[in-house]
Amino acid sequence: MNPLVTQNIDDLHERAGSMNVIHMHGELLKARCVACNRLTLWRRDISAADACPACGRANALRPHIVWFGEMPLYLKEIFAALNEADMFVSIGTSGSVYPAAGFVAEARALGIRTFEINLERSDNADEFDETRYGRASEAVPDWVAEILMSS
Ligand SMILES: [Zn+2]
């Protein structure tokens, strides 16, 4: 199953039933150990005294969030998925933050049909094969119905 790549750090996609979600900017409800790199579900504040549940080291946990200036996560997996995709859909993003804003150009270079669904034109709207605008809660189901009818 192709992944759903999101810049969101909340778990709304999972709570809505989405499968194979890639959180390129991390996840608010997880802690990452800088010593062993393991992820742990974490729903409270992190303190220096907290030990990593995996390796036991204290003062090694940090939020599993990409801060400004850090590289987004899972880019290798995202570009691998782009290479296997036959459709690229960008939903609800400004198209101004890279590397995510560059995914459409990568998709086009691979010959993949590209769609933008957004509240308003994104900064890179001209790079998409098709665009449509409206609330995601309405525009996405309409688009999906059209895709299903045409396939
Ligand atoms: Zn650890």
- Known catalytic residue at 23: no
The yes or no reply on domain 86-150 and CATH 3.40.50.1220 is yes
Residue 86's Cβ-side half-sphere holds a number of Cα atoms within 13 Å equal to 3
Domain extents in the chain: 26-65, 86-150
Q: Cβ atoms within 10 A of the Cβ of 19, count? A: 10
pLDDT of residue 151: 78
Distance in Å, CA 3 to ligand 1 centroid: 27
The DSSP output letter for 29 is: E
Distance in Å, CA 59 to ligand 1 centroid: 10
Q: Which residue has the higher pLDDT, 101 or 2?
A: 101
pLDDT of residue 97: 85
Which residue in the list 13, 23, 25, 64 is annotated as catalytic? 25
* The overall pTM is greater than 0.85: yes
Tell me the average pLDDT of the chain: 95
pLDDT(133) > 80: yes
Coil, strand or helix at 64? strand
pLDDT(83) > 80: yes
Which of 32, 108, 109, 107 shows the shortest CA–CA distance to 67? 32
pLDDT of residue 39: 97
Distance CA(39)–CA(47), nearest Å, equals 16
